[in-house]
Amino acid sequence: MQVDFQYIFGWTNSDQVNLWNGLITSVCALGSAIGSLVAGPPAEKFGKLKSMHITNILVIIGCALTCIQNEYVILIGRFIFGFAAGAFSVFVPSFINELSPTEMKGSLGSLTQILITLGIFISNLFGLPLPESIKDPIADNFIDNNYWRIVNAIPILFAVG
């Protein structure tokens, strides 16, 4: 996706490319760190289930912002998405721990971590570029101009579902 952004936004200077690629990548981690640190009080006040529903709204907003073709808006959207991911890292394990029977708590906690890793793996698969040999002129235009939007919007399906 970073090569697509370089083409779409017209970044020609290598310092500019490195700056924007670093910002777009790291702002999500920053949001995740902040989200995980501040998620505790809302979970206690509103409950974990309601907090997860509210956080799903943040996922939708963050992903929608990352689909707008503006570097600054993408940064804001990535931060919001990261914030939601960090909050989920607090809500979900605690929610599963509260609901699961005692004999299944360890297994379900491990399953949560395995599924998070699987989700990261699948999202990386979506970001793989297609080989040059299978690109045709119609698909090439779509991939260069719009595929990044689809990759950024996929989490909306999970937030709505």
For residue range 96-129, list pLDDT tens digits in order: 888 899 999 889 888 888 988 898 898 888 877 6
CA torsion 121→126→132→134, rounded to 10°?
110
Higher per-residue pLDDT: 134 or 61 = 61
Coil, strand or helix: which one is 136? Answer: coil
CATH of domain 30-160: 1.20.1250.20
Cα separation values, 131 from 1, 121, 128, 139, 144, Å: 14, 19, 9, 12, 13
Higher per-residue pLDDT: 99 or 61 = 61
What confidence score (pLDDT) does residue 63 get? 95
Q: Take residue 131 and report the two structure tokens written for it.
A: 């080989």
The mean per-residue pLDDT over the stretch 81-94 comes to 92
Average pLDDT over the chain, rounded to an integer: 85
What confidence score (pLDDT) does residue 41 get? 92
